[in-house]
Structure 1
Amino acid sequence: MVEFKLPTWYTTPMAQVVLVGITCFATVGMFSAVSNLGAGGLSDITLSDTSQGVLYGTFAITGLVSGGISNLLGPRLTLFLGTLGYALYVGSLWCYQTQGTGWFVILAGAILGVSAALLWSAQGAIMMSYPLEKDKGKAFAIFWAIFQLGAFIGSIIALAINIESGGLSAVSTSTYIAFLVIIFIGVASAWLILPPNRVVRSDGTIVKLEAFSKPHEEVVGMIRLFKDWRMLALVPMFFASNYFYAYQGSINTNMFDGPTRALNATLEGAGAIVGALMIGYFCLDLKFLRRRTRGLLGLAVVTVLVVIVWAVSLSWQVTFTRADVSDANRINYHDANYKGKGALFFFYYFSDACYQALAYWIMSALTNDPFKLARYAGLYKALQSAGSAGSFGMDAVSTPFLNEHLASWILMLASIPLAYLVLRTVKETNYGDEKMVYVDDLKHGAAEEGAADAPATRTESIEKGSVSDRAEDTPRPLVASA
């Protein structure tokens, strides 16, 4: 029998991060892109808010167990199942536009909530556990930039159509077909993802020898998760991390005309990409700073952004209420009063990317175990979605804009001191506390089979902090510890 060996580059952590980024670009990104085109739920704000509320409600419930499901099924099958809901939801928007089936949009939102929880748990585990500790900020930056590129491209298309026609009330059948083709390519791409026992870091270590977890291990793992004070301290940060989307989307929809909404969405996408790259490469992974210092620097950056961006937003928000919303009062990007608004939407998503990056980085600094990180990611997305469900519910009942603004801002500010307490516990490295398995120390075929009983031959211990800056070209340092 001829043995097929995967290319070395394909089994590297960053290759897998790029692949999962492409999967999310083609599914989540296209879902965001088609929403930006003004069709489906977006032609009816109440329906849109209702479907989004249902989506995030089911997302929150499923997220509590999605990490365990991902560990049992493996990242490949979990991602595949997780992507299917996006195809269904985009199909429901198309159906609503042609048939007026609002109920289908809501049902598809509920199903998407379940599948999205699976996708994001698997994605989080891959992004946070596969790379070396010194590359986890860059891993987020690469993933987030690729993922957000989908929404960015969709918003550019919407902007071009709006500028040419002066508006966009519907999306053509051919456009929907094009988006669905891309989404199904994303669904298929999930099968390119490798399980942790097939991924080899540049220092020669395998991410984790076991390919799958066991049900009883997940039960115990979930109990420990809810007993971990650090996870409890991060609850406000998790809850607040998407809460502001409903407010920002409502402001964009109500206060601006079609072309300007598309322009704002384009600026949002650009802000998300730039923000992720900036904090990932130039803050969280700075080589000359110790790991805890990098985390505290990231927290300082996020704090400054949250204070400044939302203070500027408040200065604008106090000048209008929902009673001022009308077609006659909508702002166009040519108007004098649009000045500064585009920059605000850019920095909304610039700061959002930094906030999300910090949350993921803190979780990934607590452990390198992909099974634990899948549970962390599931809890993160569950609480994040619970916050989103609440915020879309607020907007659906026409809560005053100022109340939505203050709720979003206060939640983020309240999360910062608790995140600081967790950051104080971050070690310089977790390598000394976790079992390190080297691929060339395993019995033949053990890694591919996910054998849990094939130990590394070396068990040298390291002192804490001695391997935090292992070079990429180091072939195999003597680092293995039970």
Structure 2
Amino acid sequence: MPSTHRYKEEEKNRCDELSSSWYDRILTVYRTPMAQVIIVGVTCFTTVGMYAAVTNLGAGGTEDIALSDISNAVLYAMFSLSGFVSGGINNLLGPKLSLLLGTLGYALYVGALWCFQAQGTRWFLIFAGAILGAAAALLWSAQGSIIMGYPLEKDKGKAFGVFWAIYQLGSFIGSVIALAINIQDGRQSAVSISTYIAFLVIIFLGVVSSLLVLPPDLVVRSDGSVVKLKTATRVHEEFLGMFRLLKDWRVYALLPMFFGSNYCYAYQGSVNATVFDSPTRALNATLESAGAIIGALAMGFFVLDLKRLPRRQRGYLGLAIVTGMTIIVWSVALAWQVTFTRNYRLDHGGSFLNYHDANYGGKGVLYFFYFFLNACYQALAYWSMSATSNDPFTLARFAGIYKAIQSAGSAGSYGMDAVLTPLLNEHLASWTIMLFSFPLVFLVLRTIKDTSHVAEFEGVGKDLGEDVKEPEVEKGLGQTERVQSVVTSLSVDL
């Protein structure tokens, strides 16, 4: 009997050790920067991705281009205004609460689209656009601080690629849902009610997923260093931090790139609504998402984090690739654009272009490369920002400015589209802004060093770009000891 009892005790102890070991492994993985990047990607997958899917159907699936343009103009105007303070608010509230508040705005907007489709309530869609603008600024500032500030420098391109691929996968799946539903319902021009219901269910899953995000001081990198010593700043620190950021000329040099990064969406969405029927719009949205996924992963893994090149050279390579693709893709688009106007239906016997039509193939390929290019362009923008600093609080402010200027560009482009500006003019405006941004990005990339560590004390960062000696983290210590070592030295490995 004693031997049996001892055997059971030993078995119990082994089971407890195994259970504890698995728990520790899961917790260790959960606290890594890439795990947090994936969680943020899933949150955006289920919220922003669903929003993008429905808006990519052309006029938000409403078949009312003017109303969609007004709503989007209000949305991006509010987004722009909120972006200048959203980084500071994120630093005060923390990324988890910022993400949670941001996701609720997307649920409200898709619900407003559903309400308009069912009841024709135009004012509510415009109101929801304004609320979403403020909420989205919070979400994207939190996203920026995590994507750019949590990973090691050598992994920042991959972090963006993984995030963008997951986020765009949400748009891809949403577009497939819309495509399946609308093909079943027939060749209608407006999106069906069941499409909005499906989107809303997925969005509420994203609201829940935002609660899984960890505060920065609980995230541990692969070398055992911590991301940040505090979870939040104070109001006066935010004013000082924004003042320091705005003294850096590189912020202003990147503004044209920020402004042009989403400017083309209004034009591309308007062409989608003007030329194609509802199932084909959904197919185009699916191709767009596929292009964005592939483009982000290719740019992040094989260009911006290419180990064989120094960091500045990787930036130059990324800029060269994006510049070349911009010239090629938009030249092809121009050759197509000069063949039609906003009166496409009248000029083609009152019918939209369908994916079964013989002349559709090249248009689908174009929409794929539109978003392949846009993903590369966005990757370069994020990478350029993250190369100026590694402090998550500074990068949250930078992300807020990025989204503010980006949204100002979007508001302007949707306003331009709302007054029925000729599509050729919108095409040329989008293309010109992108080309203008590239020389200024080159000037910023010239300042990039192999590392940009930022020393901090009590959460107040020094000026951007100051070089400090890389903190030494004792190897061979356990995770807890390594974290304590970094905290004691008051340094952040970036």
- Asked whether the two chains share a fold, i.e. TM above 0.5, the reply is yes
Match of 1:155 in 2: 175
Number of aligned pairs? 456
Match of 2:420 in 1: 398
**Residues 447/171 of structure 1: CA separation in 2 closer, same or farther (3 Å cut):** farther
List aligned pairs for 1:92-241, cutoff 5 A. Answer: 92-169=112-189, 175-241=195-261
**Residues 443/215 of structure 1: CA separation in 2 closer, same or farther (3 Å cut):** farther
State the alpha-carbon separation in 2 of the partners of residues 185 and 339 from structure 1. Answer: 35
Aligned residue for 1:144, secondary structure, equals helix
Aligned residue for 1:67, secondary structure, equals helix
Aligned residue for 2:222, secondary structure, equals coil
Q: Deviations over 1:249-284 (max 9, x none)?
A: 001110112222222111111101110011111111
Residue 341 in structure 1 maps to residue 363 in structure 2: yes
Match of 2:450 in 1: 428
Match of 2:90 in 1: 70
State the alpha-carbon separation in 2 of the partners of residues 105 and 365 from structure 1. Answer: 39
Match of 2:382 in 1: 360
State the alpha-carbon separation in 1 of the partners of residues 184 and 87 from structure 2. Answer: 45
Aligned residue for 2:50, secondary structure, equals helix
* 2:310 aligned partner, one-letter code: R
**Residues 112/456 of structure 1: CA separation in 2 closer, same or farther (3 Å cut):** closer
State the alpha-carbon separation in 2 of the partners of residues 183 and 40 from structure 1. Answer: 16
List aligned pairs for 1:31-42, cutoff 5 A. Answer: 31-36=51-56, 42=62
Q: By how many angstroms is 1:157 displaced?
A: 2.0
* 2:451 aligned partner, one-letter code: T
State the alpha-carbon separation in 1 of the partners of residues 220 and 108 from structure 2. Answer: 35
Work out whether residues 83 and 119 of structure 1, in 8 Å CA contact, stay in contact via their aligned partners in 2: yes
Deviates more, 1:198-207 or 1:434-443: 434-443
Work out whether residues 486 and 492 of structure 2, in 8 Å CA contact, stay in contact via their aligned partners in 1: no
Q: By how many angstroms is 1:163 displaced?
A: 3.3
* 1:31 aligned partner, one-letter code: Y
Work out whether residues 229 and 487 of structure 2, in 8 Å CA contact, stay in contact via their aligned partners in 1: no
State the alpha-carbon separation in 2 of the partners of residues 172 and 243 from structure 1. Answer: 28
Deviates more, 1:26-35 or 1:174-183: 174-183
Q: Runs (4+) of structure 1 moved beyond 6 Å?
A: 3-6, 439-448, 479-482
Match of 1:296 in 2: 316
Aligned residue for 2:214, secondary structure, equals coil
Deviates more, 1:331-340 or 1:282-291: 331-340
Q: Deviations over 1:2-60 (max 9, x none)?
A: x9977100000000000000000111111223345678663211111110000000000
Residue 12 in structure 1 maps to residue 32 in structure 2: yes
Work out whether residues 73 and 212 of structure 1, in 8 Å CA contact, stay in contact via their aligned partners in 2: yes
Match of 1:464 in 2: none
Work out whether residues 188 and 277 of structure 2, in 8 Å CA contact, stay in contact via their aligned partners in 1: no
* 2:391 aligned partner, one-letter code: D
Match of 1:411 in 2: 433
Aligned residue for 2:187, secondary structure, equals coil
1:276 to 293, 296, 300: 296
Work out whether residues 124 and 377 of structure 1, in 8 Å CA contact, stay in contact via their aligned partners in 2: yes
Match of 2:11 in 1: none
Match of 2:398 in 1: 376
Q: By how many angstroms is 1:341 displaced?
A: 0.9
**Residues 151/481 of structure 1: CA separation in 2 closer, same or farther (3 Å cut):** closer
Aligned residue for 1:433, secondary structure, equals coil
CA RMSD, 1 decimal? 2.6
Aligned residue for 2:354, secondary structure, equals coil
Work out whether residues 205 and 439 of structure 1, in 8 Å CA contact, stay in contact via their aligned partners in 2: no
* 1:349 aligned partner, one-letter code: F
2:407 to 360, 369, 385: 385
**Residues 114/218 of structure 1: CA separation in 2 closer, same or farther (3 Å cut):** same
* Unaligned ranges ≥5, structure 2: 1-19, 454-466
* 2:468 aligned partner, one-letter code: D
Work out whether residues 322 and 377 of structure 2, in 8 Å CA contact, stay in contact via their aligned partners in 1: yes
Q: By how many angstroms is 1:98 displaced?
A: 1.5
**Residues 17/94 of structure 1: CA separation in 2 closer, same or farther (3 Å cut):** same
* 1:433 aligned partner, one-letter code: V
Match of 1:473 in 2: none
Q: Deviations over 1:80-136 (max 9, x none)?
A: 111110111111111111211110000000000000000000001100011110111
Work out whether residues 57 and 278 of structure 2, in 8 Å CA contact, stay in contact via their aligned partners in 1: no
Larger Rg: 1 or 2? 2
Residue 260 in structure 1 maps to residue 276 in structure 2: no
* 2:321 aligned partner, one-letter code: V
When the two structures are superposed, what TM-score results if normalisation uses the length of structure 1? 0.89
State the alpha-carbon separation in 2 of the partners of residues 389 and 430 from structure 1. Answer: 34
State the alpha-carbon separation in 2 of the partners of residues 455 and 199 from structure 1. Answer: 13
Q: By how many angstroms is 1:166 displaced?
A: 3.1
**Residues 88/257 of structure 1: CA separation in 2 closer, same or farther (3 Å cut):** same
When the two structures are superposed, what TM-score results if normalisation uses the length of structure 2? 0.87
Match of 1:476 in 2: none
